[in-house]
Amino acid sequence: MAFHEHRFSVAPMMDWSDRHCRAFHRLLSRRARLYTEMVTANAVIFGDRDRLIGFGEDEHPVAVQLGGSDPDALAQAAAICADRGYDEINLNVGCPSDRVQGGNFGACLMRDPELVAACVRAMKARVDIPVTVKCRIGVDDQDPEMALDRLADAVLAAGADALLVHARKAWLEGLSPKENRDIPPLDYDRVHRLKRRLPDVPVSINGGIGSLDEVEAQLRHVDGAMLGRAAYQQPELLLEVDARLFGEAPPHADAFAAVEAFEPYIGAHLAAGGRLHDVTRHMLGLFTGRPGARAYRRRLAMEGVRPEAGLAVLRAAVDEVRRAEERRSLVA
């Protein structure tokens, strides 16, 4: 696996990293690796595949994240996703929600490295694309030194191509999924130690990274870094990724140009019967920190949700920022 493609990724995020979000993020960076929301193996096998795992050709490189603990089902789902053209299969061993605990997948699998290894082995036998594992450093009362090494060694022996590590424990008892994103302390050093122990294994880090400065700092210790909420809530920072991390020109000169380039995609979605808010909900943070950003968000939040809302609403929202910046420049 060419892990330089993982040098920078946007993390899989439930309810956020859907195909509209990914299409928007791809306009901002050609090189960021994008991930789907987690989708269960059984949903892939028995559900509406176009809705659940459909993606556009412009999204590459794009990975699908699968959830499950049945090796046969995961192998079947992985084969379906590989046939669809995904660049990577990622197994979720980090999500702490009640739903995944009830289904015996996600973070609770940190307790059963051999089962995770069996899942990886089964998927590797069915697909030719990379199979990776995204995990925590441990769960509940586990010792992260032992828990992470045990999981890493097991899945690598089974053929896993890379490890993506959220540098927090997950507390399955006592904390909500939301609290699990913030309350357990970050331990970047633990992930750095894993990389030093496994110098030939691609290791990427996730969790609490909030800027490209922090990404660059992490890349001194590991092979790749993931942004999650920061990329979603401040997507304009993605316009800097290609230049800062890959030495390439950005896809668009600025956020205004990116929105204009996104209009044909949104227009096609509207023409197919979709709603504006399906797409623009992922764009609310685009102008964060700029004059007019609040008016932009307000207009999209209040007018963009109307069933009849069209591109004119988005254009009017963007104009709020343009006018505010013009007023500031006149004052200056």
Residue positions counted in the chain: 332
String of DSSP letters for 205-221: EESS--SHHHHHHHTTT
Q: Which residues are catalytic?
A: 95
Report CA 79 to chain centroid distance, whole Å: 21
Q: Residue 15, class by beta-carbon neighbours within 10 Å (0-12 exposed, 13-18 middle, 19+ buried)?
A: exposed
Name the DSSP class of 175: -
For 137-164, give one letter per residue: b (16+ CB within 10 A) or e.
bbbbebebeebbbbbbebbbebebbbbb
CA dist 14 and 34 (Å) reads 13
Show the tokens assigned to 226.
């993931």
CA dist 123 and 320 (Å) reads 49
Closest CA to 66 of 109, 30, 31: 109
Secondary element (H or E) of residue 294 = helix 293-303
CA distances 95 to 66, 128, 180, 320, Å, are: 11, 26, 9, 38
Q: Which amino acid is at 43?
A: A
